Chains A and B, each alone.
Chain A
Amino acid sequence: MRRLPVVFGLVAVGLVVVTAMVSLAWTPYDPGAIDPAARLAPPGWPHLLGTDTFGRDTLSRLMAGSRICLLVGVVSVAIAAVAGVPLGLVAGMTRGVVSRLVLRATDLLYAFPAILVAMLLAAAFGGSTLTGMAAIGIATVPVFTRIARAGTLTVMSQDYIWAARASGTTWPAIAARHVWPNIAPLVGVQASVSFGMAILAEAALSYLGLATPPTTPTWGRMLYDAQAQLFNAPLLTLWPGAAIVVAVLGFNVLGDGLRDLLDPRLREVV
């Protein structure tokens, strides 16, 4: 029972990852190929999940969409963790001005959600997959700062930190040898949850046309196109919608499950 969420999360995440890898080598049709003779075909043969307004194969586009979703997730979470975790470490290991400055900056960044940052970047540079990833990454930085700081504070209150200090270990060495190994699992769990959030944000951005250009198949864009055909082909909204939910649910449940496995005390409360 306790492992169930982790198993479910791994299966869902694995499904998305495998789909993305397969789509690199093979999709049933070219995701961009237009076939006027097969417009809005219902699910069946040869188009397993049917086709859209332009006769493009839904299954192929769905498979290709998983690539962007994972790419944006990996890059934006990496940006957030690489910038956020060191800030959290510093804020947790120092007292006074530096720590308060980092905290204030973190609070301020919370007021800039991914979609607003994406709009700023799109207005300034024009929207692209890059601005989308940057926007989601920037907006996720404070999440990692906060979790890293909380973990660092717990570690720093332990007796062995005093012992390390007393024996002359320097601050960077303490951070690398004692603090980081202890907070790494927390950061990993957060990365999984943030990955889910990043997929949600990416879907919204590509739905709004703010990030990845419409020529590249994304789940958000597929929903935008499908919405225009809501009366004729309601099933077209189902596939990308379900894909987003499965991917997000997978990463969320995996994160929660891992946290419970790592720290059984948290199970009842969080």
Chain B
Amino acid sequence: MHVVRQILTRLSALVLSLLVASLLIFVALNALPGDATSAILGTNADPVAVAQLRARLGLDRPLLVRYVSWLAGLLRGDLGTSLVSGDAVSSLILPRLGVTVSLVAIATVLSVAIALPLGMYAAVHRRRARGFVAATVSQLGMAVPAFVAGIVLVLVFAVRLQWLPAGGYVDIQRDPLQWLRHLVLPSLSLALVNGSLLARYVRSAFVEVLAEDWFRTARSVGWRLWPALWRHGVRNAATSLVTVVGLQLATVFVGAVVVEQVFAIPGLGTLLLDQVTKRDLVVVQDIVMLLVGVVLVIEALVELAYVALDPRLRGRREAR
């Protein structure tokens, strides 16, 4: 029963957070004197035309009515229409969602693949020069912005070696191999940065594992160091690491916004930046809500997964 109540409490908190987040986003974009009309018609437009446009776009309604109708639309899956182009926002977002999600998914897998060996190595050799070097590598990786890593990767693998394309995107249904080739460098540039950050958590998680009594017992009954770490250490470190990986997903999503720009990938990030430049507030509002919503949902799932992975936490009132 405890578990059910825990899940319900967390889900209601999630709904509340989503509601407050939507309010914040709406207020940030709509509570200003100037609105989309000045972006469309210019600041010196004829007042009559402005009033007509405001009425057509529904901007003459009170703020609260507009907020509620936006929210009601979101719940029905109706994201509204773009102020500038008049397209349905969902038709703009849907084709790009898959692009960004595949970029984030590949980047996350890569960053775990980088962080686990690097962090474990740094933990095992923490008192020696080798461990210091491994820790320095991750410290250095954290200081490189993903978009700088991306530019350097393009320089090496696209301009010099010409192994991989410098940018662009091919749909997976058209050519799976080209799809992957176009995503290697973007996801790697995200993974280098996030993997470095993750490696620090991996390191500290394994420093703790190495100091545990049960680990010493495993070693004393004949387990070799690395098999013991992979077999028992990873599972024990997993609970805290899953949390970090989950919370980093949010960072990776936002990092993708920038990296898409570096590689000219037609994902959510390029769409968002494009609409920010055009000041198409409806589209911006929807995409930001989508990204913030994804982050909040991931956070909730991570907390629930934490409980599922670590039976010791079940039945506790506060998961954190």
User: Interface of A with B (CB < 8 Å)?
Assistant: 104, 107-108, 110-113, 115-116, 119-127, 196, 200, 203-204, 207-210, 223, 226-227, 230-231, 234, 237, 241, 244-245, 248-249, 252-253, 256, 268-270
Contact = CB atoms under 8 A, between A and B. Distances in A.
A223 B146 CA distance: 12
B306 to A, nearest CB: 15
Contact of B295 (A111, A120, A230): A111
B13 A230 contact: no
A200 B147 CA distance: 10
Nearest to B201: A270
14 contacts: A111-B292, A119-B284, A119-B288, A120-B29, A123-B29, A123-B279, A204-B145, A204-B258, A207-B261, A210-B276, A237-B152, A248-B143, A249-B140, A269-B207
Contacts of A112: 21, 24, 292
B272 A249 contact: no
Contact of A223 (B17, B151, B275): B151
Interface of B: 13, 16-17, 20-21, 24-25, 28-29, 32, 126, 139-140, 142-148, 151-152, 154-155, 159, 166, 204, 207-208, 250-251, 254, 257-258, 261-262, 272-273, 275-277, 279, 281, 284, 288, 291-292, 295-296, 299
A270 B17 contact: no
Contact of A111 (B17, B146, B159, B284): B17
A111 B290 CA distance: 11
B231 to A, nearest CB: 23
Interface of A is mostly: helix
Contact of B204 (A113, A227, A269): A269
A108 B21 contact: yes
Contact of A249 (B17, B24, B143, B166): B143
Nearest to B257: A115
A31 B148 CA distance: 22
Contact of B155 (A110, A115, A120, A237): A237
Nearest to B148: A241
Given A107-B17, A207-B258, A249-B139, 11 more contacts: A104-B13, A111-B250, A112-B24, A113-B251, A116-B257, A116-B292, A122-B276, A123-B275, A227-B151, A237-B152, A248-B145
